[in-house]
Amino acid sequence: MEHQSEALAIDGDTVRLPGFVRIAAGIYSNIDKNWKAQLTVENLFDTNYWATADADNNISPAQGHTVRD
């Protein structure tokens, strides 16, 4: 679980990004003594939030569900 409180886009006090909570989950299985398989889902509940901000007018949304192996 990742939690981010409300934050300012830059050092000024004009643009505030809302806080969010993002959940990730994963499963894995040991295949044998040398191999392990893993599957991870980030942003499990498809939370909408702003991932990055570079000034007040260059704000990027986060990805939705992301699956990694």
Sheet holding 66-68, edge to edge: 25-30, 36-42, 66-68
pTM of this prediction exceeds 0.85: no
The residue ranking higher by pLDDT, 23 or 9, is 23
Quick: pLDDT tens for 24-45: 999 999 999 999 999 999 999 9
Identify whether the C-beta of residue 20 lies closer than 8 Å to the C-beta of residue 49: yes
How many distinct structural domains can be found in the chain? 1
- Over range 39-66, report the average pLDDT: 89
Joined together, the tokens standing for residue 43 give 């942003």
Q: Containing H/E element for 33?
A: none
Which range of residues forms the domain containing residue 34?
2-68
- For the ranges 1-5, 7-11, 34-38, the lowest mean pLDDT is seen at 7-11
